[in-house]
Structure 1
């Protein structure tokens, strides 16, 4: 260290023994600290600063003669230590001093070094400052969090609002509602049933909860049901077939190498073009093709239609109905119900659906046009696809009133009951199943399952009997559980299927409340289904009209008004 005395006092340099050194803070109080002195150039040799130090600071002026600390200490009276106080002493602020003050005879003193900006100097002040900043930041974040999330406003809890008053607009369907009376229903239907546009009208209305007949008009007289006959075929299917049954189409190995045989399994819903089908859940021809191609090269395709017997077109069916989109020849292998435009429900159908489907398969496997053939007994199966379950098929045939699908299902009922899979066999099977389940078919005479023939005749009471069994509120009748899906398969007034575009104008109050199967032939219109009245009571009805008036603008709207009148009936 170097210390410059005050005034003209001369100093000499003495050697300080290592055992007797004094720190700067032990200098006498009477002498001004050398911190307050100015430096001058020192003539004695000194430690050479490092190159980095030279570049960072100017060379201090050293005195010509210096006196060591122990000499100053000997001249000054002993320093009196102030009495220690119990309170901690405040830390004085650091002073700016020369960065290195060498004292001859001193070793390095890392703890007492005054230079804080030298490399290796003490970092404690910096650590303390950073610690204080971190604490301050945390304190600020805490205050913010308290104010934002836990402050006085967040603690305040408002009392819960009073429960909302629920006033349901739709009353639950229940048998406990006021029971309609025959007089009330008769009064409600008097005006609508008297509409001259309806021509000869037969029908009936029944309360399924009590089984009471509420309105009858020629209900036991046989009349042409048109497509409302599908109610009977659908009911027979639900009563005799497993709801999860599926129709299977297979391709088996032919008698010759490279030959395959398509075995029709009765599924008319196979989709020929992905994304263009009117049948939800339909299997695809592409799936069948992919399976077969994986088994090897195909050079010849045959198709086997032996699953069905009899004629492909029903009695009294007209060939014009094929071009009109109502029907196609009924064979056990076809695509999209024989439709030329797969997505058009009422579009033109082909007159040779089996050949067309087999040719489409042959083209996709890279073989020539297909030909009719028989599958060898026990031939290995090369591919198989399955239809949607029977319950879904029934739903679909009722919604879009599909004649081809209905006839296919009638044949499946025939096969299940041991009858011939033909028009006659299907009709017999439907009648047998319904009779076995307690339905009276007196006066009913029909020749197909779809209602396409004008020669079909059934009484309105038969339709309401089947619907009543499906709509009973309790399941004590074993038929009810099996027939319940029949109700959900019925189109919704103004909402779905063949009723989607109906129930406007004076029939609007029935929209959404009426579910019914339609029936349309030349001069014939029918409507049979269920309706929920304003008291939440389910009513079953069937109406059949024979009239030459305009069906689009007069007859069908008049039938819609009749069903809508039952909806508005508080007929107790």
Structure 2
């Protein structure tokens, strides 16, 4: 889901990770490769490929003479950042960022700039001030998910035998990527699980059995389906769906539209689609809790958690964020509700050594206007994700926070940003998570400065229209990219 503009006693990290979990330390800076200029690199590669004699001959576009001639040596376009790049100074950053951060158009701004190599704060403005973050809150949820869940684990939807021989129960396992589209047709999600595979599994497990009744089991989640601070209009508006553990395509009415309207009863819509595919009566779908010992007839799985996190950040998908927050709560033994998920997300971060003081979360997506997050926390999470590894066996659990960030002027929720003359230098260089609500604008991510130093920044603004604030935030990030600030 794209950014939302509403105009109105400690528990373990998870048995699968166990004692191997460690937030990266502050050792010697290692060169970090950040691939930022995808469009430029792609265009360059295409030009070289189409001029290769062997390819021209292979396509029948030439006589093939010279096909065996040696190609020119490749020229490195992207490479590691220099390990000894100079560090910006506080005075240099203040001189560059101060006028931009202090402009009236930026509203109430809280911000930090960090050096992930050592975790040092290089520049700050009200870093502890907790403001409404918008979708930048997804970075908090994503970090908790990566620290709690095995990044290779998946979310499963099962179908089990029902109370009668001609009935089945579709059991929601928290995977919002399940789709009714057939194989070969893409939904908005990567590697979606497919309802057709469950239909095949049922027919294989119950050969010749006519299925007349489909039940749906949504007992995995508890509590309200809409969070405090959400508007009922957010559902038809395409921002979010009622949060239940069983739905198709994130509750979208059209599986191919990222920002399309959502349905009001996503679990029933999934059950009815399943019934139609099985030849059962869709109007007879009803809720039930599967028997604990019910025979499993089939199951399908989502993409791995790490892939879900990346997609959630890149597209700012609210439903996927809420699903991941619930999985954090379940894995840590908490209640799978909005309240339980918010509490367990904060607890997971605290257990990992981050300080969630000042943060108030009521959902996992940042759609709620009741959320409050200080930029200091967001900066710390991104800094840990970008920190250099200490050795070849170092496990970088938070790295998908970076690989999932949209690229300025390139993809995700930044594909149409950084077009103002003050910020065009940031295109292809800035990677950041966006956040937009009424009178809320935020931007947090990484940028490489003119000296090749990787920097982390977190900017949260409240009180002014995003139409005026977002260009200011883009300009701040772009200023970091073009200065050594010494």
TM-score of the alignment, normalized to the shorter chain, above 0.5? yes
User: How many angstroms apart in 2 are the aligned matches of 1:310 and 1:486?
Assistant: 29
1:280-326 Cα shifts (integer Å, max 9, x gaps): 11111111112212323211111111111111111121101001111
The one of 363, 367, 388 aligned to 2:280: 367
User: How many angstroms apart in 2 are the aligned matches of 1:376 and 1:266?
Assistant: 18
List aligned pairs for 1:497-508, cutoff 5 A: 497-506=412-421, 507-508=423-424
**Structure 2, unaligned stretches of length 5 or more?**
1-69
User: How many angstroms apart in 2 are the aligned matches of 1:413 and 1:545?
Assistant: 28
Indicate the residue corresponding to 2:197 in structure 1. Answer: 287
Tell whether 2:448 aligns with 1:535: no
- Secondary structure of 2:121's partner? strand
User: How many angstroms apart in 1 are the aligned matches of 2:176 and 2:484?
Assistant: 45
Tell whether 2:428 aligns with 1:515: no
- Secondary structure of 1:222's partner? coil
Tell whether 2:435 aligns with 1:525: no
Instruction: Note if contact 1:268-1:336 (Cα within 8 Å) is conserved in structure 2.
Output: yes
User: How many angstroms apart in 2 are the aligned matches of 1:164 and 1:276?
Assistant: 38
- Secondary structure of 1:512's partner? coil
The one of 80, 93, 113 aligned to 1:172: 80
1:532 positional shift: 0.7
1:484 positional shift: 1.2
List aligned pairs for 1:208-223, cutoff 5 A: 208-223=116-131
Q: State which structure, 1 or 2, has the greater radius of gyration over its C-alpha atoms.
A: 1
User: How many angstroms apart in 1 are the aligned matches of 2:136 and 2:228?
Assistant: 18
Change (3 A) 1:448 1:516: same
1:269 positional shift: 0.7
Instruction: Note if contact 2:389-2:396 (Cα within 8 Å) is conserved in structure 1.
Output: no
Tell whether 2:300 aligns with 1:392: no
Change (3 A) 1:257 1:169: closer
1:474 positional shift: 3.0
The one of 263, 267, 283 aligned to 1:350: 263
Instruction: Note if contact 1:270-1:282 (Cα within 8 Å) is conserved in structure 2.
Output: yes
Change (3 A) 1:299 1:208: same
User: How many angstroms apart in 2 are the aligned matches of 1:413 and 1:442?
Assistant: 19
Indicate the residue corresponding to 1:267 in structure 2. Answer: 175
**Structure 1, unaligned stretches of length 5 or more?**
1-160
Under a length normalisation based on structure 2, what TM-score does the superposition of the two structures give?
0.81
The one of 328, 343, 347 aligned to 1:432: 347
Change (3 A) 1:210 1:441: same
Instruction: Note if contact 1:186-1:214 (Cα within 8 Å) is conserved in structure 2.
Output: no
Indicate the residue corresponding to 2:89 in structure 1. Answer: 181
Count of equivalent residues: 409
1:193-245 Cα shifts (integer Å, max 9, x gaps): 23322111110101111322111111111111111001011001111100111
Instruction: Note if contact 1:475-1:481 (Cα within 8 Å) is conserved in structure 2.
Output: no
List aligned pairs for 1:385-424, cutoff 5 A: 385-424=300-339
Instruction: Note if contact 1:469-1:480 (Cα within 8 Å) is conserved in structure 2.
Output: no
User: How many angstroms apart in 2 are the aligned matches of 1:170 and 1:306?
Assistant: 49
Instruction: Note if contact 1:470-1:480 (Cα within 8 Å) is conserved in structure 2.
Output: no
User: How many angstroms apart in 2 are the aligned matches of 1:484 and 1:199?
Assistant: 32
1:349-406 Cα shifts (integer Å, max 9, x gaps): 0010000110010011111121111212211111211111111111111111111111
Instruction: Note if contact 1:547-1:555 (Cα within 8 Å) is conserved in structure 2.
Output: no
User: How many angstroms apart in 2 are the aligned matches of 1:195 and 1:511?
Assistant: 22
User: How many angstroms apart in 1 are the aligned matches of 2:445 and 2:395?
Assistant: 15
- Secondary structure of 2:258's partner? coil
Instruction: Note if contact 1:288-1:385 (Cα within 8 Å) is conserved in structure 2.
Output: yes
User: How many angstroms apart in 2 are the aligned matches of 1:165 and 1:310?
Assistant: 58
Higher relative contact order (CA 8 A, sep 6+): 2
User: How many angstroms apart in 2 are the aligned matches of 1:231 and 1:494?
Assistant: 20
Tell whether 2:188 aligns with 1:310: no
1:32-61 Cα shifts (integer Å, max 9, x gaps): xxxxxxxxxxxxxxxxxxxxxxxxxxxxxx
Change (3 A) 1:251 1:568: same
User: How many angstroms apart in 2 are the aligned matches of 1:262 and 1:178?
Assistant: 57
